[in-house]
Amino acid sequence: MTARNPKLFVKSYGCQMNVYDAERMADALAPEGYVAAESAEDADVIVLNTCHIREKAAEKVYSELGRIRKMKAETGRAPLVAVAGCVAQAEGAEILKRASVVDLVVGPQSIQRLPELLRQAKAGARPVDTDFAVEEKFERLAAPAPKAIRGRGVTAFLTVQEGCDKFCTFCVVPYTRGAEASRPVAQVVAEAERLAAAGVREITLLGQNVDAYHGEGPDGRPWSLARLLYRLAEIEGVARLRYTTSHPRDMDDDLIAAHRDLAALMPYLHLPVQSGSDRILKAMNRKHTADDYLRLVDRVREARPDLALSGDFIVGFPGETESDFEATLAIARAAAYASAFTFKYSPRPGTPAAERDDQVDDGVKSERLHRLQALIAEQQTEFARSLVGRRIDVLLDRPGRHPGQVAGRSPYLQPVQLPASSGSVGDVVEAVVTDVGPNSLFAAPAGDARERPRVLVEATA
Ligand code: SAH
Ligand code: SF4
Ligand code: F3S
């Protein structure tokens, strides 16, 4: 052991899978004595775990690298700098050319090799590893120590599937995360058991197309996501299960039935539709129509009537007309979202849509984004207000914002503030929603609230 433990700072951009990978990088380096740094200024190794999905996300890495270069010059410190994640995969050795401050580049499927790559970088090489070694990654992924798990709280991500074979014409993910691959059931169960034993109560299964999961089961045959969920629900201590992101094409009958049967499976579904125009959906290569999507949503709601929906939308895809966009507003209204992510189309290098010569003007994109966001915000408020007076389960996950409060999450991922007497972090408590704030719900334990008359409070959002 050295006099001082080396310090690691990982900054993650992009989706939850990058958050998961960042934790695995910290876990891989923990046996070598690495501890978490408070900031980049304080670190011996800085990892930028990047996202390539839209131009803005990808450009962030270069501005951050500029800041690090300046910090190095000003402080005389010499941390090793690694670029990981989807920009690393997409640009590889180009990054070394463009930014001299970078010591190593590692793609998302090679993060298990980080300790070895750091040794090479320390010796003066500037290694680049962008192999698609996904099976090796899954086999060699570092397991966190129980103390590390507890330090991360009572909710956890668990990657079960990675990569994508769908090739939507706007999207870089099939190129940055490679072909679809699923982890064997036994690996997933072992990891979930480890999390539960360390006190994790809620597990979110991750995959770029998580409902395309087909990992090898103990019987040697592929298991569906539904079958995996039934198995994970048996693990003691696991109170809540979620999965994200699902593709409408891969939601099968078994998965819909799991929403009916499994109390642990939260009634909240993230199901991106991207556009409400069949013409645009076709050009995006989504392989379903607006009507297919709405019928699917109806079926899931039939199975689980309290289900709430979230989604992703892209506005201003090449060739999108005002009437295509109105179809997007119409599908958002018809599906009644509890929340949704909305994006302006961003042309990405190497994707078919970026080559089209009918790109939509940025001003038009902004205006459409604004209109869609206004509708979604309205739906979000309406959904939150519909919960007032209703009984919901809340997973207490952190101390409250103010003394005397404890905070948690609703089944729909909304932050909830409750009186501290409601329980301790890690408990799932039954509560009645009493009020809606701009960013959170207020609730009281169901036992107390029953005594009082129900008061409807106007939303402040
Ligand atoms: N696998 C998921 C989505 C992964 S990317 C799915 O198929 O739904 C997350 C979201 O980013 C997408 O749903 C899409 O809405 C958005 N996105 C992807 N590429 C984009 C691009 N080129 N421009 C704007 N938004 C994009
Ligand atoms: Fe991208 Fe489409 Fe694959 Fe989702 S399904 S990751 S949007 S290519
Ligand atoms: Fe971004 Fe890669 Fe995730 S491009 S959204 S970090 S899969």
Asked if residue 245 has a cis previous peptide bond (ω within 30° of 0), the answer is yes
For the chain, where do the domains classified as CATH 3.40.50.12160 start and end? 7-133
Q: Which two tokens stand for residue 96?
A: 């070394």
Model pLDDT, residue 448 = 63
Q: In ligand 1, which atom is closest to the CA atom of 341?
A: 15
Nearest CA to ligand 3 atom 1: 51
Whether ligand 2 lies within 6 angstroms of the CB of 168 is answered as yes
Kindly give the distance from the C-alpha atom of residue 274 to the centroid of ligand 1, in angstroms, as a whole number: 8
Three-state SS letters, 315-332 = ECCCCCCHHHHHHHHHHH
Give ligand 1 pocket residues (Cβ under 6 A).
53-54, 170-171, 173, 208-209, 245, 247, 272, 274, 312, 314, 343, 345-346, 348
Q: In ligand 3, which atom is closest to the CA atom of 87?
A: 4
Distance CA 165, CA 179 (A): 6
Distance CA 167, CA 179 (A): 10
The model's pTM: 0.94
For the chain, where do the domains classified as CATH 2.40.50.140 start and end? 391-445
Whether ligand 2 lies within 6 angstroms of the CB of 341 is answered as no
Distance CA 278, CA 427 (A): 45
Q: Which two tokens stand for residue 229?
A: 């969920």
> What letter would DSSP give residue 168?
-
For the chain, where do the domains classified as CATH 3.80.30.20 start and end? 137-386
Model pLDDT, residue 451 = 40
Query: Along the 461 residues of the chain, how does pLDDT read in single tens digits?
Result: 446 899 999 999 999 999 999 999 999 999 999 999 999 999 999 999 999 999 999 899 999 999 999 999 999 999 999 999 999 999 999 999 999 999 999 999 999 999 999 999 999 999 999 999 888 888 888 888 899 999 999 999 999 999 999 999 999 999 999 999 999 999 999 999 999 999 999 999 999 999 999 999 999 999 999 999 999 999 999 999 999 999 999 999 999 999 999 999 999 999 999 999 999 999 999 999 999 999 999 999 999 999 999 999 999 999 999 999 999 999 999 999 999 999 999 999 999 999 999 999 999 999 999 999 999 999 999 999 999 999 999 999 999 888 999 999 999 999 999 999 999 999 999 999 999 998 899 999 997 654 444 444 333 33
Q: In ligand 3, which atom is closest to the CA atom of 53?
A: 4
Q: Do residues 209 and 393 touch, judged by C-beta distance below 8 A?
A: no
Fold observed for domain 137-386? pyruvate-formate lyase- activating enzyme (3.80.30)
Distance CA 16, CA 159 (A): 9
Amino acid at 308: A
Model pLDDT, residue 457 = 39
Model pLDDT, residue 452 = 43
> 397-406 in b/e burial notation, b at 16+ Cβ within 10 A?
beebeeeebb
Kindly give the distance from the C-alpha atom of residue 374 to the centroid of ligand 3, in angstroms, as a whole number: 26
Distance CA 94, CA 359 (A): 27
> 289-328 in b/e burial notation, b at 16+ Cβ within 10 A?
ebebbeebbeebbebbeebbbbbebbbbbbbbeeebbebb
Neighbours of 244 (CB within 10 A): 21
The separation between the first and the last C-alpha atoms of the chain, rounded to the nearest angstrom, is 53
Q: Which ligand is nearest to the CA of 53?
A: 3
Q: In ligand 3, which atom is closest to the CA atom of 108?
A: 2
Model pLDDT, residue 112 = 92
- Tell me the CATH number for domain 7-133: 3.40.50.12160
Whether ligand 2 lies within 6 angstroms of the CB of 171 is answered as yes
Residue 434, exposed/middle/buried by CB under 10 A (0-12, 13-18, 19+)?
A: buried
Three-state SS letters, 261-301 = HCCCECCEEECCCECCCHHHHHHCCCCCCHHHHHHHHHHHH
Kindly give the distance from the C-alpha atom of residue 346 to the centroid of ligand 3, in angstroms, as a whole number: 14
For 391-445, the fitting CATH number among 3.30.70.890, 1.20.5.510, 3.40.50.300, 2.40.50.140 is: 2.40.50.140
